[in-house]
Amino acid sequence: MDGYAIQKLLRLQGLSVFREDVPQIFHILDTIYESEKATLAFPDLNEEVPMTIVDKELLQ
């Protein structure tokens, strides 16, 4: 998605767009996309119980 597409989509939703904000919006959308790729690769990751290792000396 390029800057023009971001501006167009925001205007279609009735939001004002500042040209200086477009790179930041692009970066946020890219970060969301990258994190979604990880959840698609491991869709049932939240069903696994995490392993916890406890050092007995830290508990004293």
Residue 30: inside a domain: yes
Asked if residue 38 belongs to a domain, the reply is yes
More confident residue, 27 or 59: 27
Residue 60 resides in a domain: no
For the chain, what is the domain count? 1
What percent of the chain has a predicted confidence (pLDDT) above 90? 38
φ, ψ (nearest 5 deg) of residue 18: -100, 130
pLDDT tens digit sequence for 24-43: 999 999 999 988 887 888 87
Hey, what are 16's tokens?
Answer: 């004002």
Domain hosting 34: range is 3-50
Residue 31 domain-assigned?
Answer: yes
Residue 59 falls inside a structural domain? no
Question: Does residue 52 contact residue 33 with C-beta atoms inside 8 Å?
Answer: no
- What is the arithmetic mean of pLDDT over 6-19? 91
> Does 57 map to a domain?
no
Spatial distance between the Cα atoms of 48 and 41, rounded to a whole number of angstroms:
15
Is 55 part of a structural domain of the chain?
no
Structure tokens that stand for 4 in this block: 């023009």
Q: Name the amino acid, one letter, at 41.
A: A
Confidence label for 54 from pLDDT (cuts 50, 70 and 90) = confident
